[in-house]
Amino acid sequence: MWDDVIGEPEGIRSPECAWRLSGHCFRLSRGCCYIFLSVLVAPLLALCLGFTITNAPIADILIVWAKCEDEIVRGFVIEREKNQNRLSTPKIDGKFSLRASTTGMILMDNVIVPEENLLRSVEGLKGPFNCLNNARFGISWGALGAAETCFKIARSYTLERSQFNRPLAANQLIQKKLTDMMCDIAFGLQACLRVGRLKDEDRANPQMISMLKRNSASKALEIARTARDMLGGNGISDEYHVIRHVMNLESVNTYEGTYDIHTLILGRAITGLAAFAG
C-alpha cells in the first residue's frame, strides 16, 4: 500500500548519493503541504482536508512531491521500513466521513531517500498536477455513482411507503424531486462520458475536468441531501445508507479542489483574469 503526498518539506538536501527530507508535511494553510493520496490496492479516494492523509498510518511506501533546493519539484519514494525512526504517521480518529479508510498525518525528521528512489521521469508540477487531474476525473464519476444510489433508494422508499392510503411517490413534490435528481445524474454522466472520450483523443484540458468535479460533487451532495429528506426520520438510519453517502459526499465536495476553487479556475479560463493571488 502506498500514499502519494504533494508538499514542500523543509531542509531537502543531497549529500553524496542520498536525499534528506525534514519537516512537517501536513500544514496546508502555511503552504507546507498540498496533499494528494492514492492507494495501490483499492480505488479509494483521497481525503485532502488540511492535514488528513488517507491510509498514512498503514502505508508501507509513500510518494512525496517536494520542492528541492534548486526550486524544482521532484518526486521521492519513501520506504517506511528504512526510516522507522525518522518517519511517523500518527492516526487521526473521530471521522464522521469516509470511515472505511484510516487517516493520519505524515511527520518527517531527516528522512533519508536513496538516489534510486528519486522519480526521474518528471520534474516540476506536471507530475503532481497530472495526478490531480486524473483523480478529479475519477471523482466526477464516483460522486455521481453515490448520487444514483441515493436516487434509487429514495424512489424505492417513496413507492413503498404509504400515507393516507397512497404512496408518497404519488405526491407532486416527491415526483418533482425525483425528476430533478434523475436529470442532474443523467446530465452529469453524459458530461463525464464526453470528457472521457476527449481524454482518449488527448483533447481534454484541466478546465473541463474542473467543470466535471465542480458539477458532479455539488450535484451529488444536493441529491443525497434531498434523498435523506425524502426518507423522513429513516433518512438518518443506517438501514437505508443515505446518510452515509451524505457524510461521504461532504468530503468529496471538499477534496481535490473545493467548489469555490474550481469556480475560480473556470472564472480565470472564461475571463483570462485570475481572481486569486499568484
Spatial CB neighbours of 48, under 8 Å, sequence gap ≥ 6: 28, 34, 35, 36, 37, 254, 255, 256
Asked if residue 102 lies in contact with residue 58, where contact means CB atoms within 8 angstroms, the answer is: yes
Residue 93 burial (10 A CB sphere; 0-12, 13-18, 19+): exposed
CB atoms within 10 A of CB 270: 9
- The full 3-state SS of the chain, as one line of letters, equals CEEEEEECCEEEECCCCEEEEEEECCCHHHCCEECCCCCCCCCCCCCCCCCCEECHHHCCEEEEEEECCCCCEEEEEEEHHHHCCCEECCECCCCCCCCCCCEECCEEEEEEEEHHHEECCCCCCHHHHHHHHHHHHHHHHHHHHHHHHHHHHHHHHHHHCEECCEEHHHCHHHHHHHHHHHHHHHHHHHHHHHHHHHHHCCCCCHHHHHHHHHHHHHHHHHHHHHHHHHCHHHHHCCCCCHHHHHHHHHHHCCCCCCHHHHHHHHHHHHHCCCCCCC
Active site residue 81: no
| Catalytically annotated residue among 79, 160, 250, 256 | 256
CB atoms within 10 A of CB 66: 23
Residues carrying an active site annotation: 256
